[in-house]
Structure 1
C-alpha cells in the first residue's frame, strides 16, 4: 500500500482524548492531528518521537492531519487503524497473503449476522469472511492483541464461529504494523475474555493468520507470516 500523498514529518508532543494528538512540525508549527487508534497505544507512545502525518484537505474536518506512524527505538510503527483494512484488501486481491489466494471476488465491509466483516472473498469453490485487526502492542518478542478490552472483538469471533458452522471459511487476520517482534499472541492479561474467545474460535475452526508489515513513509508492505501462540 503506497501513500497517495507525501507525508508530513514532525515530533509527537502528546496524545490526549484518545483521538487527538499535538505534533510539532519541522518548521516549529504545532498542529492538532487526528488519531484513528482508540486503544491505549501502549508500547508505541513516546513524547518527542518522530511521526509522520497525512495532510487532509477536507473543510468538514476540524483536524487537518491524520497520524500515520511513529518511530520507536529506530522502528516505524503504523498506528493508523484504517490502513490494515486497505492493505489486506489489496493483498488478497493480488494473492500476496499465504493461505488467502485464488479469490476471484473480493469486497470490503460485508455484513453477516449481527457483524460487519472487513473483507469478503469468494471463488467458485468457497466463500470466506475475514476480520482484520491492527496490532501494535509489543511485550518482549511478542506482538499482542488487544491493547484494551474489546467486547466488539469478542462479538466478531463469535460471528466467525457461526460463519464456520454455516459451512464457510472464517479467518481472523492480524496485521502487525511493526518489525521488532517475532510471535503473535492474545493479550491475556489485558483482556482474558478475548483471549478465551480466540482459543474457542480456533478450536471451532476459525483460522488465524498473522502478517507482519514493514512501515515506511512511502508505503506499507507485508514482509512475512508470524507464528501464533494461542
Structure 2
C-alpha cells in the first residue's frame, strides 16, 4: 500500500480516542484524526516522531490523519508502527492478490468480508480444488517491555467471537485462519496477551487445537531519505500460544 505525501511531526497527546495533537516540523500545531479505537498501549508515546496524511477535502472536520509513529528501540534505532487499524485489511488484501502469502496463495477468488457463524470475517478465499478458506485479520502493535509482541492490547470480546466463528467453520470442514498483521517493525514474534485478556488467550489456544490455523506476518515500511512511501506485508513471524509475559516485567 502506497502512501501519498506524509507530513512529519511530533506527537503531543492523544485524547478523546479519536484526536491527537501534533506539532509539525514546520512549527504548526494541528489536531489530527486518530483512526484507532483501541487502547494504543505502547504506541501512544508523546514526544515520538509521527507521520500524518493531509487531506484537502473541505467536508472533513479534520485535515490530518495520523498514520505512523516511530518508537525508540533498545538498540537506539527507531521502529515504525502503523496506528491506522483500517489499513491492515488493505495491506493483507494487496498481499493476497499478489500471491505473497505462501500459506494462502493459489485461490481463484478473494472476497472481502464474509458473514458466517454469526460474525463478519475479513476474507473468504475460494478455489475449486482447495475449497473455501476463511481469514480473520488482526493488527498487532503491542510490544511489551519483555521485547515480545502480544495481541490484544485490551479486552476484546469481538476478537473472541471471531475465533469462535473460525472454530465453527473448521468443524464444518473449511479451512479457517487467524492472521496477525504485525504493524510494528520492532516485533519479532507474537503471543496471546493473557496478562491483558486471559479469555482471549484461552480461546485462541482452544481453537488452535480445533483446527484453526494461526499465522503472523510483519509489515515493512518502505522509505526514501527517511520518508515513508509505502507499507507492505513482509516476512512470517513465529506465534507462541504458550508464552506469557514474565510477572517480573513492569506492566504500566
What is the TM-score with the length of structure 2 in the denominator? 0.87
Residue aligning to 2:101: 97
Q: Which moved more, 1:190-199 or 1:50-59?
A: 50-59
Residue aligning to 2:174: 168
Alignment of 1:107-146 (within 5 A): 107-125=111-129, 126-139=131-144, 140-146=146-152
What is the TM-score with the length of structure 1 in the denominator? 0.95
Q: How many angstroms apart in 2 are the aligned matches of 1:157 and 1:177?
A: 20
Secondary structure of the 2:195 match is: coil
Q: How many angstroms apart in 2 are the aligned matches of 1:53 and 1:109?
A: 28
Contact 1:178 1:215 in 2 (8 A): no
Contact 1:177 1:215 in 2 (8 A): no
Q: How many angstroms apart in 1 are the aligned matches of 2:56 and 2:172?
A: 44
How many pairs align? Answer: 229
Alpha-carbon distance change, 162 to 60 in structure 1, aligned in 2, over 3 angstroms: farther
Residue aligning to 1:229: 240
> 1:192 aligned to 198, 210, 216, which one?
198
Alpha-carbon distance change, 124 to 57 in structure 1, aligned in 2, over 3 angstroms: farther
Residue aligning to 2:21: 22
* Cα-Cα RMSD: 1.2
Task: Describe the superposition over 1:21-56 as per-residue Cα deviations: whole angstroms up to 9, x where unpaired.
Answer: 111112222111111212221221221211111123
Q: Structure 1 residue runs of 4+, over 3 Å off?
A: 57-60
Residue aligning to 2:2: 2
> Runs of 5+ in structure 1 lacking a partner?
none
Q: How many angstroms apart in 1 are the aligned matches of 2:114 and 2:187?
A: 31
Contact 2:92 2:233 in 1 (8 A): no
